[in-house]
Structure 1
Amino acid sequence: MSIKDNLLAIEENIEKALIKSGRKDDKVELIAVTKTIDVDRIQEAINLGITNIGENRVQELEKKIEVIGGKVDYHMIGHLQTNKVKYIVPKVKMIHSLDRLSLAKELNKRANMNSLTINALIEVNVAEEESKFGLKIQEVVPFIEEVLKFKNIRVKGLMTIAPYTENVESIRYVFKELYKLKEDISRRNYENLSMDYLSMGMTNDYEVAIEEGSNMIRIGTGIFGTRNY
């Protein structure tokens, strides 16, 4: 299928999932994950209406920003090393993988140097997979309370990556748990913090994620097809 056909299918599936969950008029932000995808194909997706690009690696993100420029918003969705923060802070709309205090300190420092505030999502490892980054559910609130001390970071919500499985129903609980956590944090009414975004759902599981409250999905293969590594 072409990128155009893929995007139409995704739009249709988003609509169905929203209707199924009683959120017919809600908006779901689609982030096109462009890891290993060449710029020509990314440009094609942009011409078809993609406005958000997500990258896993700083170096690849920098290269793509150089060529594509300011046509889209850029999201850092992969694990972010502290020593790479300086390269991307002024260039990205949002960091999806804030998961430790050393990273928060560096983000705050670099944002301050650039006279801006950086938007971030807290990465939560709901399933507690050893191979994945992110905080355990019970660690999130104390972590947020520490991050709120940094004046140049704005926490905008939560992000998770569910375990990969053919049986998507078996990971529905991951999305339910993150939604519950978001609601709990919202009720605490912290100053300078919002739970605007629940970034959960990828090519394999985004429909179930939307059914459970996601309003931001990160899709690569579903748009561009299987990657050639």
Structure 2
Amino acid sequence: MSNLSNLAIEDRIKEIRKRMDSACQSVGRNPEEVRLLLAVKTVPAEKIIRALDFGETLLGENKVQELQQKYSFIGNERAEWHFIGHLQTNKVKDVLKYATCIHSVDRLKLGQALHNHLTKEKKKVDILVQVNTSYEESKFGASPEEALNLIQQLAQLDTLQIKGLMTIGKLSANQDEVRSCFRLLKSIQQQVIQQDYSGVKMDVLSMGMSGDLEVAIEEGATMVRVGTAIFGERIYPDSYYWNEHASDSD
């Protein structure tokens, strides 16, 4: 990765787009098959607006409170908001006011909470099922062995439009270990397609971030979530966002 510390946000986006294009070309994929989602956790609205001015449209937020605050500045005319963090059941009502897709549905109880609220509102929402392909205790997500059963159960909730899967690759310098996480998600996608669950689509594989997006694209990602390589290092450590022991009403 080139040194981006002194580059403007626009130049960093160009660099990421180049990396995405090169990764697609290396495996004969059309770059238009892969969407760039800007992961905007802790990023001030002014910086996000610069990225939108440069033509980006897809934003992903990890925390409901931050989503509310930034949405109030930016709105939804120029941006499509996805929720990509761990979602507590008591925050369902709030997140559904802003997000058009939730990447982190990882348990039936959360699916039921979403369904109950959506039923009252007579609405539907797109979701991705999060799978813990690295088997790390520090990460959320259904286990790979539970994924098909969870999807089958969620498919019974007609307000949830299942569009695909999400995972967070192993934070490892060993590329083979990282690749195995993405390859496993692709394998689960193929298993779900074979099951042909009614109403379930498997068009989206949300996987890959700043450090491993090439590997993810090589293994079939249709959406990569990039924050650090565009907006710089975060104020908080990753554990602030991916803490398995975070308080929850579940």
Give the residue type in structure 2 aligned to 1:38: P
Partner of residue 216, structure 1:
223
> Does the CA-based 8 Å contact 2:87-2:104 persist in structure 1?
yes
User: Any residues of structure 2 matched to 1:66-215 within 5 Å, and which?
Assistant: 66-70=72-76, 71-215=78-222
State the alpha-carbon separation in 2 of the partners of residues 217 and 202 from structure 1.
Answer: 6
Q: Please list every run of 5 or more consecutive structure 1 residues that lacks an aligned counterpart in the other structure.
A: none
> Does the CA-based 8 Å contact 1:21-1:212 persist in structure 2?
no
3-state SS of paired residue (1:137) = coil
3-state SS of paired residue (2:128) = strand
Equivalent residue for 2:37, pick from 31, 44, 60: 31
Deviation string 1:36-78 (CA, Å, 9 cap, x unpaired) is 1111101001101111111110000011111101120111100
> Does the CA-based 8 Å contact 2:182-2:207 persist in structure 1?
yes
Deviation at 1:167, TM superposition (A): 3.1
> Does the CA-based 8 Å contact 2:170-2:177 persist in structure 1?
no
Q: Specify whether residues 197 and 171 from structure 1 end up closer, same or farther in structure 2 by C-alpha distance, changes over 3 A only.
A: same
State the alpha-carbon separation in 1 of the partners of residues 118 and 97 from structure 2.
Answer: 7
Give the residue type in structure 1 aligned to 2:121: N
Q: Specify whether residues 24 and 151 from structure 1 end up closer, same or farther in structure 2 by C-alpha distance, changes over 3 A only.
A: closer
Partner of residue 8, structure 2:
2
> Does the CA-based 8 Å contact 1:90-1:114 persist in structure 2?
no
State the alpha-carbon separation in 2 of the partners of residues 84 and 47 from structure 1.
Answer: 30
Shift >3 Å, 4+ stretches: none
Partner of residue 57, structure 1:
63
Deviation at 1:165, TM superposition (A): 1.9
Give the residue type in structure 1 aligned to 2:104: S
Give the residue type in structure 1 aligned to 2:45: V
Give the residue type in structure 1 aligned to 2:216: A
> Does the CA-based 8 Å contact 1:58-1:87 persist in structure 2?
yes
3-state SS of paired residue (1:150) = coil
Deviation at 1:228, TM superposition (A): 2.9
3-state SS of paired residue (2:202) = strand
Number of aligned residues: 229
Deviation at 1:26, TM superposition (A): 4.2
Asked if 1:40 is matched to 2:56, the reply is: no
State the alpha-carbon separation in 1 of the partners of residues 120 and 105 from structure 2.
Answer: 19
Query: Cα RMSD (Å) of the superposition?
Result: 1.1
State the alpha-carbon separation in 1 of the partners of residues 91 and 97 from structure 2.
Answer: 12
State the alpha-carbon separation in 2 of the partners of residues 218 and 48 from structure 1.
Answer: 17
Q: Please list every run of 5 or more consecutive structure 2 residues that lacks an aligned counterpart in the other structure.
A: 1-6, 237-250
3-state SS of paired residue (1:195) = coil
3-state SS of paired residue (1:228) = coil
Give the residue type in structure 2 aligned to 1:21: V
> Does the CA-based 8 Å contact 1:32-1:218 persist in structure 2?
yes
Equivalent pairs: percent with the same residue? 39
Deviation at 1:19, TM superposition (A): 1.0
